[in-house]
Amino acid sequence: MDKPIKFSTSDASKHHAYDTFFRESNAPWYQSHCITLSIAVFLLYFCVLREENDVDEELGKTLWQRIPTLRDDSLQSQIRAGKLAGTDVSKLEQELDDLRKKHK
C-alpha cells in the first residue's frame, strides 16, 4: 500500500453528500415541522407581538447621538482634510460652530 488510492476509482467517488443529509437521516419525520414551527413562533413574538423597550430606542439612535464628541472630532478631521485639498470648508466650519454652541 505504498501508492495513494485514486479517488475516481474508489467507492468514495460514488457517494453523494445529498445521500448523507437526506436519505440516510435518522431524524424523526416530525423534526423539521417542530423546528419550523418554533422558529415561526419566535419570529412572530420578536417581530410583531413584543413591545418596544429602552434597548430598542437606544438601537434606533445614530452613532453621533450616542457619542456626541465623535461628531465634533469627525468634523475637525473633515475640515483639516478639506483645507489640505483646497476645497471650501465653510459649511463644515459652520456646522462645527453650531454643534459647539449647542453643547455649551
DSSP state of 12: G
Q: Which three cell numbers stand for residue 68?
A: 456626541
- For helices 90-103 and 68-85, the axis angle rounded to 10 degrees is 160
Shared domain for 78 and 99, answered yes or no, is yes
Residue with cell 410583531: 48
**How many angstroms separate the CA atoms of 57 and 89, rounded?**
34
Global confidence as pTM: 0.42
HSE value, Cβ hemisphere, 13 Å, CA-based, for 26: 0
| Residue 68 domain boundaries | 58-103
Assigned domain for 4 exists: no
Check residue 38 and give its pLDDT.
Answer: 97
Total count of domains within the chain = 2
Q: What is the pLDDT along the chain (104 residues), one digit of tens a residue?
A: 688 888 888 888 888 877 776 665 677 889 889 999 999 999 999 999 999 889 988 888 888 788 878 888 889 999 999 999 999 999 999 988 888 888 76
Shared domain for 14 and 49, answered yes or no, is yes
Check residue 100 and give its pLDDT.
Answer: 83
Check residue 104 and give its pLDDT.
Answer: 67
Assigned domain for 43 exists: yes
**How many angstroms separate the CA atoms of 10 and 5, rounded?**
7
Check residue 36 and give its pLDDT.
Answer: 94
